[in-house]
A and B are shown apart, each in its own frame.
Chain A
Amino acid sequence: AQKVTQAQTEISVVEKEDVTLDCVYETRDTTYYLFWYKQPPSGELVFLIRRNSFDEQNEISGRYSWNFQKSTSSFNFTITASQVVDSAVYFCALREGGIKTGANNLFFGTGTRLTVIP
């Protein structure tokens, strides 16, 4: 069965600090996709990144970076030099490959609430 664990329920950092949000996943499929989303206080869901299981390259986008490690089933997200606007709930999600009942959807973790203190 698929599972996504975000063990950090809430994190607070002071502005300009770096912060890493953890995501550990479980799946039996060899083909799968991992996602990160941001949900700001306004409530919408903002797509940040998608990674497929065949691509273990880490990615950097501005102050954001992602570390995908299949050996530990983790897909961690780091924000460098955090800003107040980064305050949000961040969700990690998994979609298994293939077309089968229950796989046509994203399975979300419970989210990590990040508060950046000015």
Chain B
Amino acid sequence: NAGVMQNPRHLVRRRGQEARLRCSPMKGHSHVYWYRQLPEEGLKFMVYLQKENIIDESGMPKERFSAEFPKEGPSILRIQQVVRGDSAAYFCASSPTGTPADYGYTFGSGTRLTVV
């Protein structure tokens, strides 16, 4: 059983470029959550998605960041016109349902974004 798969593991972008981070949830999981970990900090919630729906984006920056989870394929976190402050580790988690009882167990290994 493959866990939550994130790629790439490391991503380097120049200021102003776009970054695309991918997350494939565990098999059978249709709920995806994205978190950001700034250096020397804990993880902070960004967005919660189901297939083709954004359920809660209360943690997403208002500009340059977007997320999607299409009917087919992985969830994508997209950062446009990256700046140095976007350098962080981005983690994805998945669950089979949105109920609290199912959530919290499974995170991917993260994508480390470095903006130069």
Which residues of A approach B to under 8 Å, CB–CB?
A: 4, 31, 33, 35, 37, 43-45, 47, 50, 52, 91, 93, 95-99, 101-102, 104-111
Does B89 reach chain A (CB closer than 8 Å)?
Answer: yes
Closest-CB distance, A4 to chain B (whole angstroms): 8
Does B106 reach chain A (CB closer than 8 Å)?
Answer: yes
Inter-subunit contact B105/A47 (CB<8 Å): yes
Inter-subunit contact A43/B43 (CB<8 Å): no
Inter-subunit contact B56/A44 (CB<8 Å): no
Which residues of B approach A to under 8 Å, CB–CB?
A: 33, 35, 41-45, 48, 55-56, 58-59, 89, 91, 93, 98-101, 103-110, 112
Inter-chain CA distance A59–B81, complex, in Å, is 47
Inter-subunit contact B56/A111 (CB<8 Å): no
Inter-subunit contact A104/B107 (CB<8 Å): no
Ranked 8 nearest A-B pairs via Cβ: A105-B45, A108-B42, A44-B109, A45-B107, A104-B48, A108-B43, A104-B56, A110-B42
With a CB–CB cut-off of 8 A, which chain B residues contact A47?
104-107
29 inter-chain pairs at a CB distance below 8 angstroms, sorted by A residue, are A31-B100, A33-B103, A33-B104, A43-B89, A43-B112, A45-B91, A47-B104, A47-B105, A50-B105, A52-B101, A91-B42, A91-B43, A95-B103, A99-B99, A102-B56, A104-B55, A104-B56, A104-B98, A105-B35, A106-B33, A106-B35, A106-B43, A106-B93, A106-B103, A106-B104, A108-B42, A108-B44, A110-B41, A111-B42
